[in-house]
């Protein structure tokens, strides 16, 4: 009988992000967490964080904290988890170890699994034999009957071995040549043949569960309604579906949604840390220091990305809204998000787009907020004229940058007289004539006490008209006199902020430095 996945039911939405603490969370993992979060919030459900640390050999110090800190930074609030607690805890598998073995033994009793006593040497021998006969070296419906397990040994011998404390593992007894079907919310019907699979280990020699058993037991006990996870888990899904059936939980089996991969910028393969190193962008949300090698991998946070920009960028890597909108805060993502609009094919990472998103969120941030972000760069000269002055200067400069850290170095002239002057402007546009006009103009605005950008602009027009010249020929040299630069923010706003007194000092300075 084909497995006709889960019933459509009105179960409350409960989803989980279930990382294994084996290293820093890759942005692909962050995106999985984000989609789970959005889905939970959209359906007024719960977002769980479960730490899957059954494989103690692969445990990496600090990886669990890293997950928490990353989600925190991005504003993805966990409803139930190790730190948050909840009614379905503990939320860390190493603290739930008493919950799994019973199910494995139950499966053996129900003839859905078996004890296997094969030694490592016997397993190697089996593989060699099968390979020599050009058969795949799998422990499965075909090979298991020639191995040492509770299906081939007599009942007495099995009992004797168990009583004696012989090492054993529990393997699932998969059907031979049976179709396993289930519906993936993103991919539609998925069909596997059980012969493609092997009799996966459920319980290890140390009595601890493997990922597969612990994952299914926990999803069941935690009443998970939807499993939203990366595409790399799709090959495990048929085994999971079978486990639900064998454990008698088919009616409440979660719905599966396997997310597409995040691909390298050229689309050729999965995005890796190496691509990030090679091309100069982070693949981790926040900085990670390898506890063994002390090697530091930079994160989006440390590279100057704003958390809402990262969330927005990741949301659109594999999902698209109903129209062409690109800018979404968390709230609007929650409203718009549906699993049905997650694509089946991989999403190419685009570094320029990531920067574009960051720029967009810098444009939304106020000068004061940005000043806080760049607190470590702020020197006394930046605040000498007050916080409001600094914030306004930042507002004017932010249009030109992708990262907040680029702002202050770009606009030093707001805080002190220029130390360098664009050489090309000097050569091409600075001459006795122009210097005379600029001097006349600056004197006129100082004398008229024209402090506002609009008054200064009108005066330049009036001055140019009176001399029958185009005001355009005066704009760049005027900017250059004041800032030393060839370009920058709107000139009259810049003059207004810098103020008449300072503007006039800078004129004297330019004339002295560059006599004509």
Q: Which residues bind ligand GLU (CB under 6 A)?
A: 18-20, 52, 215, 227, 229, 233
Helices (H) and strands (E) in the chain, counts: 21, 13
* Strand blocks (E) in 38-88: 46-49
Distance from C-alpha of 495 to C-alpha of 453, rounded to nearest angstrom: 7
Report the nearest approach of ligand GLU to the CB of residue 127 (Å). Answer: 27
- Is residue 445 a contact partner of residue 500, using CB atoms and an 8 Å limit? yes
Is residue 273 among the annotated active site residues? yes
Report the nearest approach of ligand GLU to the CB of residue 309 (Å). Answer: 25
Distance from C-alpha of 389 to C-alpha of 498, rounded to nearest angstrom: 9
Report the nearest approach of ligand GLU to the CB of residue 255 (Å). Answer: 13
> With the CA atoms of 311, 313, 315 and 321 taken in that order, what torsion angle do they form, in degrees rounded to the nearest 10?
130
Report the nearest approach of ligand GLU to the CB of residue 211 (Å). Answer: 6
Distance from C-alpha of 112 to C-alpha of 376, rounded to nearest angstrom: 61
Judged by CB, which is closer to ligand GLU: 227, or 481?
227
420: Cα within 13 Å, side-chain hemisphere:
8
Report the nearest approach of ligand GLU to the CB of residue 163 (Å). Answer: 35
- Is residue 28 a contact partner of residue 230, using CB atoms and an 8 Å limit? yes
Judged by CB, which is closer to ligand GLU: 230, or 321?
230
Residue 363 CB neighbours (<10 A): 12
Q: Output the CA torsion sign for 372, 376, 377, 383.
A: positive
Report the nearest approach of ligand GLU to the CB of residue 73 (Å). Answer: 20
Judged by CB, which is closer to ligand GLU: 227, or 306?
227
- Is residue 109 a contact partner of residue 78, using CB atoms and an 8 Å limit? no
Q: Of 265, 248, 359, nearest to 312 (Cα)?
A: 359
Judged by CB, which is closer to ligand GLU: 210, or 215?
215
Identify the DSSP state of 410. Answer: H
Judged by CB, which is closer to ligand GLU: 32, or 194?
32
Judged by CB, which is closer to ligand GLU: 19, or 45?
19
Report the nearest approach of ligand GLU to the CB of residue 53 (Å). Answer: 9
Judged by CB, which is closer to ligand GLU: 5, or 215?
215
Backbone phi and psi for residue 420, each to the nearest 5 degrees, phi listed first: -135, 150
Q: Are strands 226-230 and 255-259 parallel, antiparallel or unpaired?
A: parallel
Distance from C-alpha of 113 to C-alpha of 141, rounded to nearest angstrom: 12
Bond preceding residue 438 cis, omega within 30 of 0: no
Among residues 273, 348, 429, 467, which one is catalytic? 273
Catalytically active residues, by annotation: 273
């Amino acid at each position: 009988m084909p497995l006709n996945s889960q019933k459509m039911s009105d179960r409350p939405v409960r989803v989980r992000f279930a990382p294994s603490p084996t290293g820093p969370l890759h942005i692909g993992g962050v995106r999985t967490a984000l989609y789970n979060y959005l889905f939970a919030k959209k359906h007024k459900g719960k977002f769980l964080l479960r730490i899957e640390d059954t494989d103690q050999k692969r445990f990496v110090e600090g990886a669990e904290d890293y997950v928490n800190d990353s989600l925190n930074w991005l504003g993805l609030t966990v409803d139930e988890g190790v730190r948050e607690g909840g009614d379905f805890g503990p939320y860390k598998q190493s603290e739930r170890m008493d919950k799994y073995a019973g199910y494995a033994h139950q499966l053996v009793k129900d003839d859905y699994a078996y004890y296997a006593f094969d030694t490592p040497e016997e397993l190697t021998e089996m593989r060699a034999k099968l390979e020599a006969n050009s058969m795949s070296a799998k422990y499965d419906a075909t090979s298991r009957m020639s191995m040492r397990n509770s299906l081939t040994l007599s009942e007495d011998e099995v009992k004797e071995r168990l009583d004696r404390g012989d090492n054993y593992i529990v393997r699932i007894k998969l059907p031979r040549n049976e179709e396993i079907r289930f519906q993936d919310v993103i991919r539609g019907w998925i069909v596997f043949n059980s012969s493609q699979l092997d009799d996966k280990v459920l319980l290890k020699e140390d009595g601890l569960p493997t990922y597969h058993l612990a994952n299914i037991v926990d999803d069941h006990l935690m009443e998970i309604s939807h499993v939203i996870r990366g595409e790399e888990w799709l090959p495990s899904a048929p085994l999971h579906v079978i486990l639900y059936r064998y454990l008698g939980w088919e009616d409440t089996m979660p719905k599966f949604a396997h997310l597409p991969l995040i691909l390298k910028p050229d689309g050729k393969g999965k995005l890796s840390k190496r691509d990030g190193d090679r091309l100069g962008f982070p693949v981790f949300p926040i900085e990670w220091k390898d506890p063994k090698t002390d090697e530091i991998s930079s994160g989006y946070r440390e590279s100057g990305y704003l958390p809402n920009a990262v969330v927005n960028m990741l949301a659109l890597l594999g999902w698209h809204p109903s129209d062409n909108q690109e800018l979404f805060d968390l709230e609007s993502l929650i409203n718009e998000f549906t699993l049905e609009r997650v694509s089946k094919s991989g999403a190419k990472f685009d570094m320029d787009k990531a920067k574009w998103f960051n720029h967009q969120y810098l444009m939304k941030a106020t000068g004061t907020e940005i000043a806080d972000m760049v607190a470590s760069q702020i020197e006394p000269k930046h605040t000498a004229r007050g916080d409001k002055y600094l914030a306004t200067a930042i507002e004017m400069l932010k249009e030109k940058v992708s990262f907040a850290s680029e702002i202050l170095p770009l606009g030093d002239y707001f805080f002190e007289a220029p130390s360098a002057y664009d050489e090309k402007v000097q050569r091409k546009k600075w001459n006795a004539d122009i210097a005379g006009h600029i001097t006349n103009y600056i004197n006129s605005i100082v004398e008229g006490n024209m402090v506002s950008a609009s008054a200064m602009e009108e005066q330049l027009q009036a001055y140019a008209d009176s001399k029958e010249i185009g005001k355009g020929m005066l704009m760049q040299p005027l900017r250059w006199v004041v800032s030393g630069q060839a370009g920058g923010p709107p000139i009259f706003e810049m003059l207004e902020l810098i103020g008449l007194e300072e503007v006039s000092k800078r004129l004297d300075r330019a004339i002295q430095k560059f006599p004509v």
